[in-house]
Amino acid sequence: MRERAAATVVELFHDDPTVAVVLADVSLDLFADVLQGDPRRAVNVGIMEGTAVGVAAGFALEGFRPVVHTIAPFLAERALEQIKLDFGYQCLEGLFLTIGASYDYGTSGMTHHAPGDVAALSTVPGMEILVPGGPGEAAELVRQTYANGRPTYIRTSVAANAEDRKLGLGGLTLVREGRDLTVIAAGPLLDRTLEAVADIDATVLYATTVVPLDGQMLRAAAAPAAEFLVVEPFYEGTLAPQVTAALAHRPARIESVGVPRRIISRYGSSEEHDRALGLDVCGIRERALALQNS
């Protein structure tokens, strides 16, 4: 995803003279053409994420469309106050493109983990948060949102679904219809979720826009049963308030499957973390069956 998303930003930079790129010493090889091509609107500030956000806000105030790129925890958590004040408070347009969530850099330890990025950034009023499930979707979402007039966060990851999907307009796409369970699977967790519920009569919705969640689509497509399973590649329960609000008109039992809200002290690959934390096919299936049979 990183490569396709970055290549799309480079294309936009060359096609649209209002695009500005601000880097924080990450993925410099992917943006070398930009940095060398027009340094007036492309800058690497070094490992200073707060500064990167401030510089991007300056570009936005001058009429540019800034794209900020770095690792997820360094942007969503370390520079959260700058995003809140510089972009949220001033209602500025900007695209924040990250890599590394939730624990793609798991061998580097908790300093490089970001399962709380979506929850943190959702506190910024007006922020749109997107979680693509594949390289093509990441590229498409960059094109759709870089000039949308609001702050937007795109969360890319190493994990990806086998194929890109045609996305629904509101970012919540109906994949399968069923009666006994409604499943919302976010971004790169769709394929494993579909495998986990293959023999369950479940409606499956694919979420790529997670903030704001398309409540209208959820209400229209939900199965008759009261059980809802939310499978999310960040802290479990992050999407629960939006799901609850969308379903206020009907009985609903909501179970969240995501990264447990505890300190992750073990080191390993993202696949190893998924297995240990119950975000693989077996873990998701166990939670789905428990909800269905409870």
For the stretch 210-224, pLDDT in tens is 999 999 999 999 999
Q: How do residues 263-273 score in pLDDT, each as one tens digit?
A: 998 899 999 99
Q: Is pLDDT of 37 > 90?
A: no
Question: Which pLDDT value is given to residue 167?
Answer: 94
CA distances from residue 5 to 132, 136, 138, 281 in whole angstroms, order as listed: 10, 8, 6, 27
CA distance 204 to 193: 9
Q: How do residues 174-207 score in pLDDT, each as one tens digit?
A: 999 999 999 999 999 999 999 999 999 999 999 9
- Cβ(24)–Cβ(82) under 8 Å? no
Span 253-282, average pLDDT:
95
First vs last C-alpha separation in the chain? 38
Query: Which residues on neighbouring strands pair with residue 256, listed in sequence order?
Result: 230
- Cβ(182)–Cβ(223) under 8 Å? yes
* Mean pLDDT for all residues in the chain: 96
CA distances from residue 57 to 39, 99, 182, 294 in whole angstroms, order as listed: 17, 21, 40, 50
**Tokens read off for 75:** 């942007």
CA distance 231 to 169: 21
Question: Which pLDDT value is given to residue 98?
Answer: 98
CA distance 72 to 77: 8
CA distance 65 to 53: 13
Q: How do residues 66-115 score in pLDDT, each as one tens digit?
A: 999 999 999 999 999 999 999 999 999 999 999 999 999 999 999 999 99
